[in-house]
Amino acid sequence: MTKEMPWVTGASRVFGTIAHPPHHVRAPMLFNALFAERGLDNIMVPIDAPPADLAAVIAGLRKMPNFGGLAVTIPHKIALADMCDSLGAVAKITGAVNAIRFDPDGSMHGDNFDGEGFVTGLALKGHSVAGKTILMIGAGGAARAIAAAVCAAGAEKLIIVNRTVKNADALRNALVKEGNHHQSIAQDSHDGSGVDIIINTTSLGLKPGDDLPLALDHVDDNTLIADIIMIPEQTAWLLAAEQRGLATHYGRHMLDCQIELIGSFIGAL
Ligand code: ATR
């Protein structure tokens, strides 16, 4: 894939990746390379939106006639779902968006492709979730989408562990109510043993010195360790897993496998 920047003109359509902080985002690199490769007169820029100013940032973007849409990441996936004028099916189940199209009238339309991207990314690396016992750490916006997707793809059991256990409970209830998925349980802790796949969906690992999302001492030797953090590509947790000889799955695959889906939804590709 080319790394050349797209040629930006006064007529270029502007897209954003909204985050806080924004340093960990990868979408601008992927989208701008595709814009250049395909000769599309678009540009994607990182948008740093502190949570307290999110509404003001969005109000401004809604007023920009040349603004096309957003890729959405930590910590805005849930807050932005509430600001959308309409939601697609997965965004409704999850209450979280990772892509928003801005129409010319300023209306916002959101959906969520994280789950599909994650499950497809695993499958491309030869890992199926069907029939598996999965331990998911975290219950935020990305977690909701991944939980719905792994349940829909036939996971036997999904154990959701989160710092704030009421958020894990809420996710479990949403999976039952909105998705008719009954294989999940919510817990406040787990030692990591006896499961096939462990997925980190928390933000732990973004910053140097973060705690590990889960200690690996009791994890079985054949358990797959999957992270969804993209930068750093190899989180401290993945490194620790590899040093222990465990198989790992990197966060970039989830995004790589949904760029076309997001791009088509927001009208960028
Ligand atoms: P995203 O939209 O990308 O999923 P999010 O909705 O802010 O981001 O979710 C972040 C997840 O990381 C949540 O599960 C959060 O736990 P809480 O529900 O308790 O907030 C988890 N998380 C963030 N910081 C954490 C920390 N220091 N320790 C443990 N979990 C953490």
Q: How far is the CA of 161 from the centre of ligand 1 (A)?
A: 11
Q: Which residue minimizes the CA distance to atom 12 of ligand 1?
A: 202
pLDDT of 7 over the 80 cut: yes
Q: Which residue minimizes the CA distance to atom 21 of ligand 1?
A: 202
Six-digit token string for 162: 């989160």
Q: Over the stretch 223-267, which tens digit does the pLDDT of each residue have?
A: 999 999 998 999 999 999 999 999 999 999 999 999 999 999 999
Strands 133-137 and 157-161: parallel
Q: How far is the CA of 227 from the centre of ligand 1 (A)?
A: 13
pLDDT of 47 over the 90 cut: yes
Q: How far is the CA of 116 from the centre of ligand 1 (A)?
A: 20
Residue that has been written with the tokens 């690199």 in this structure: 29
Q: Is 158 helix (H, G, I), strand (E, B) or coil?
A: strand
The count of residues in the chain is: 269
Sheet holding 224-227, edge to edge: 184-187, 157-161, 133-137, 197-200, 224-227, 247-249
pLDDT confidence band for 178 (50 / 70 / 90): confident
Query: In the chain, what are the domains?
Result: 13-112+256-266 (3.40.50.10860), 115-254 (3.40.50.720)
pLDDT of 90 over the 90 cut: no
d(C-alpha 111, C-alpha 99), whole Å: 6
Q: Over the stretch 113-165, which tens digit does the pLDDT of each residue have?
A: 999 999 999 999 999 999 999 999 999 988 999 999 999 999 999 999 999 99
Best mutation site among 25, 203, 255 for ligand 1 pocket (most ligand atoms within 8 Å of CB): 203
C-alpha distances in Å from residue 198, one per residue of 22, 38, 135, 146, 215: 26, 37, 5, 12, 11
Query: Which protein residues touch ligand 1 with a CB less than 6 Å away?
Result: 73-75, 77-78, 138-143, 162-164, 167, 201-204
The number of the ligand 1 atom at minimal distance from the alpha carbon of 203 is: 12
pLDDT of 23 over the 70 cut: yes
Pseudo-torsion of CA 224, 232, 140, 60, nearest 10°? -150
Average pLDDT, the chain: 95
The number of the ligand 1 atom at minimal distance from the alpha carbon of 73 is: 3
Q: Is 100 helix (H, G, I), strand (E, B) or coil?
A: strand
CA atoms within 13 A on the CB side of 33: 11
C-alpha distances in Å from residue 52, one per residue of 49, 100, 142: 8, 20, 21
The pLDDT value given to residue 179: 86
Q: Per the residue annotation, which of 3, 63, 77, 132 is the catalytic one? A: 77
Q: How far is the CA of 140 from the centre of ligand 1 (A)?
A: 6
d(C-alpha 95, C-alpha 79), whole Å: 9
Q: How far is the CA of 188 from the centre of ligand 1 (A)?
A: 14
In sign, the C-alpha dihedral spanning 61, 67, 68, 70 is: negative
**CA R_g for the chain:** 18
pLDDT confidence band for 19 (50 / 70 / 90): very high
The percentage of the chain sitting over the pLDDT mark of 70, rounded to a whole number, equals 99
166 is catalytic: no
pLDDT confidence band for 3 (50 / 70 / 90): low
